[in-house]
Structure 1
């Protein structure tokens, strides 16, 4: 059976119509008030400043460009949903601000008024797409660190990719794997070999340093889906897909904000991955009127001193589940046991014994759709893990990531053409923003009686 993960998010259209009706009925010329006028003026001022900044980005590089883009994102995130949708529809074709506003819409699960412009985006050499948008490459290269310190992780990604590849009964590209050895120079050499071999699409590399080295080249001769975010911006006509901790921090912030929680206590481990998640959470909260009121070490004996005199609406746990079990008891002692709690996917690490993990019940964390619900075209996580060590336990996340990398090679063209297109992947719902970055809306899970279980509103 063919894999058919593309869906067109018709509920977005219904949501947009309902929003228009609500706001249309709530406003009339005879009921305009000074506060409403002042609010509209503030929105226009924010959009005007963001437009000016977006115009200047094209001439900037390095830290200056990153700072300018961060300022644009903060201005855009200040807008409420209705204002964001309205301003997106008002932007003219070719306005560079549209990519930033559109990215914010995708992050909130809101519809785009039109597709993004795709400068340098061309898949015309591929055979025509099937009705569901399936349009894979003709000759495909996959760049992975099959040797070196990242080889185990690469093996899970490779096996997930091949599970998707062989699970497709329609036309498939010729595929070849290239070893990057996990180094920037190895990645550049592998890319050059793949380009010289006549591949019309390249997936990878995987390591962050590898991707940064490749993107630093700027223009690339072959269309590429990098499997990480680099420190450089994604070059024109290219794309990237990642399971980055930054994305989890943003997802957690949005999850809390949708529930009215703006004053957040963070309890975090002292490692780079968790620091990156906390930094992105803090930035997103700040941009949308919230704040991190305090950051406590996950090994702190007491939490009360960290929150003395502060309002706490919710708690963000950036730590492993094995440590979080003790943290939950400290939250109770600090009077925070009834506050909403959200965590990174690291909450699953060090768990697996329901009797011990019951203390984690009710904590929400981002998860992969495949691990909790199943995905069309892929056997269930438990059955697959029983057959393949590369899909078992923590490795299952990378296996799902590899499966989605295959789907993206086949549906990337459709994602770029249709404003309401999405892929129902193994790691979540996948969409493409105006910068070539795949935006992932994860599934959400929690613990119930000590076992991970999907949340009912995970798709929202």
Structure 2
């Protein structure tokens, strides 16, 4: 929130400088002039627009740009329309810079990463030697890369921007810079820390390294205390918790109870999770770490509350489980008030009771749907077609996607549900309105009395497709879409699109599908723990493989629950994703984005070549 005043201040200065430069050739105000003053215009947006209507080119454009900056505060939609009405190509160079930065800022405020990069990739920005322009462009790119979870690239942009800002200006960006540092891989932080001999940046890097939850708590405490002594007055001091000893010296539990369904309908799932926990336990033993005693209880054969009481009576200091939502709900009040509980599912729209120690961790496809909606928004898409199974699972996933999509400003063009009897080519034709196109051709041919040599056209108001489907269904849906002239529309899916086993022949049919997956599923990832799990349980590469990963990550989380909860922004690398804990004690997973190419998953590029759908774009009128 602290970043907005400086963004506004900087852009107003760009606009004022551009107006002066347009008249007399005066250079832009140097960035040092921004350090202490707040620039405001005595005129309203309406006054500026009235002046623009009476002014000649290019002064009228500079006035419009200044008006758009004021409108960004009161009417962002109108500001965007005003900016879109200005023809970029007809502008002098200095106003091209101002328009590009203004458009990029609008895109940043609405998290349209594709538009941010599109505007910042203009020659006027790239070739600029003005420090204001350079600093602002680096900051906007850093924020966009951060939203893409490309933290190393984001850090590079921050490091390029910060030296161009005064210490006073840097305060506006400390929070964003810090959040990026916390998510940069440790080896990158350590490499930079060794390269930088001194200065505030080195202090930031050292603090971010200390924040890594993999550190021993007692060593971490000593490290924080030493850092405070070595860096008195450093701005990073604000991010060092005041009650360090209380936060970092609590002893990890010595006895842990596993409450899992080892019999009944969920037996295979429960056994897979248990085996993942055991694998992580023996990996820790092999690494020479102190390990707790494990008490294992079967929730498939006894009441979960009774088992939890029994476990506590036996000395359990923490519970991992249960798995089903009903069982999590049953123990979330009484049991979690007595010992910490790392539940392996999420409560549906329930607020966790105050004073309890319930942590929620699971593999939610609904969360994946929300992640897809966010990524598609970042990629610049606006209108979606949704295809999900006609089942309770499919309806939940569709609802999660649609809510997140609309909340981010997107529109749903059409939705559909399919089942085992669905003919996907026919369904795709209906959704894409191919039938109407063919019907129009027949009517025209009949009217003219001759064949038109017509080729059917799909509807043009869709720029992305979301599917939640099994690998088998996805292999039918993607070719059906291509057959019905939609092969050029980006398709996003949930991780269920991937079968869990690489099959380059069959998976050629899903080439082009973008999907978020856990590191466990990424080809070539294979951490030592994953290799051990697959060696001991070869079936872990099948349908239930992700549950082995869930169990392993639950075990890796248990000693770090307090650290992750009390050091905001910290995270650990797990088999199910980069794991962090939110304020409401939910374990959040950052997934890895992949795209199918030649039947195999490969990393999805951050910056796609920019293509604007003419049917979706707002018509631009020359000023």
1:296 aligns with 2:412: no
For the 8 Å contact 1:313–1:340, the answer to whether it is kept is yes
Report deviation, 1:269. 1.2
Greater shift in the superposed pair: 161-170 or 140-149: 161-170
Q: Secondary structure at the match of 2:307?
A: helix
Q: Of 51, 56, 73, which aligns to 1:40? A: 73
| TM-score (normalizing by structure 2) | 0.54
Report deviation, 1:336. 1.6
Greater shift in the superposed pair: 358-367 or 250-259: 358-367
**Judging changes above 3 Å, is the alpha-carbon distance between structure 1 residues 131 and 457 closer, same or farther for their aligned structure 2 residues?**
farther
- Give the whole-Å Cα distance in 2 for the aligned partners of 1:39 and 1:21: 13
**Judging changes above 3 Å, is the alpha-carbon distance between structure 1 residues 305 and 195 closer, same or farther for their aligned structure 2 residues?**
same
Report deviation, 1:18. 10
Q: How does 1:17-166 map to 2 (within 5 A)?
A: 25-28=10-13, 29-30=39-40, 33=66, 35-41=68-74, 80=110, 128-131=217-220, 136-166=252-282
Report deviation, 1:129. 4.5
1:193 aligns with 2:313: no
Counterpart position of 1:431:
580
Q: State the structure with bigger RCO (CA 8 A, min sep 6), 1 or 2.
A: 1
Q: Of 259, 271, 278, which aligns to 2:391? A: 271
- Give the whole-Å Cα distance in 1 for the aligned partners of 2:393 and 2:294: 32
For the 8 Å contact 2:148–2:378, the answer to whether it is kept is no
Q: Of 211, 226, 230, which aligns to 2:343? A: 226
For the 8 Å contact 1:316–1:342, the answer to whether it is kept is yes
**Judging changes above 3 Å, is the alpha-carbon distance between structure 1 residues 27 and 412 closer, same or farther for their aligned structure 2 residues?**
farther
RMSD value, Cα? 3.5
Report deviation, 1:38. 4.6
Counterpart position of 1:174:
293
- Give the whole-Å Cα distance in 2 for the aligned partners of 1:366 and 1:228: 19
For the 8 Å contact 1:404–1:426, the answer to whether it is kept is yes
1:391 aligns with 2:540: yes
For the 8 Å contact 2:479–2:510, the answer to whether it is kept is no
Q: Secondary structure at the match of 2:505?
A: helix
- Give the whole-Å Cα distance in 1 for the aligned partners of 2:341 and 2:500: 35
More strand by share: 1
- Give the whole-Å Cα distance in 1 for the aligned partners of 2:573 and 2:2: 24
- Give the whole-Å Cα distance in 1 for the aligned partners of 2:75 and 2:336: 39
| TM-score (normalizing by structure 1) | 0.71
Q: Secondary structure at the match of 1:430?
A: strand
For the 8 Å contact 1:314–1:340, the answer to whether it is kept is yes
For the 8 Å contact 1:362–1:447, the answer to whether it is kept is yes
For the 8 Å contact 2:513–2:595, the answer to whether it is kept is yes
**Judging changes above 3 Å, is the alpha-carbon distance between structure 1 residues 325 and 209 closer, same or farther for their aligned structure 2 residues?**
same
Q: Of 334, 346, 353, which aligns to 1:235? A: 353
Count residues with an aligned counterpart.
371
- Give the whole-Å Cα distance in 1 for the aligned partners of 2:320 and 2:559: 11
For the 8 Å contact 1:294–1:307, the answer to whether it is kept is no
- Give the whole-Å Cα distance in 1 for the aligned partners of 2:508 and 2:315: 54
More helix by share: 2
**Judging changes above 3 Å, is the alpha-carbon distance between structure 1 residues 19 and 332 closer, same or farther for their aligned structure 2 residues?**
farther
Report deviation, 1:218. 8.6
Report deviation, 1:349. 3.4
Q: Of 307, 310, 321, which aligns to 1:204? A: 321
Report deviation, 1:344. 0.9
**Judging changes above 3 Å, is the alpha-carbon distance between structure 1 residues 293 and 140 closer, same or farther for their aligned structure 2 residues?**
same
Counterpart position of 1:365:
515
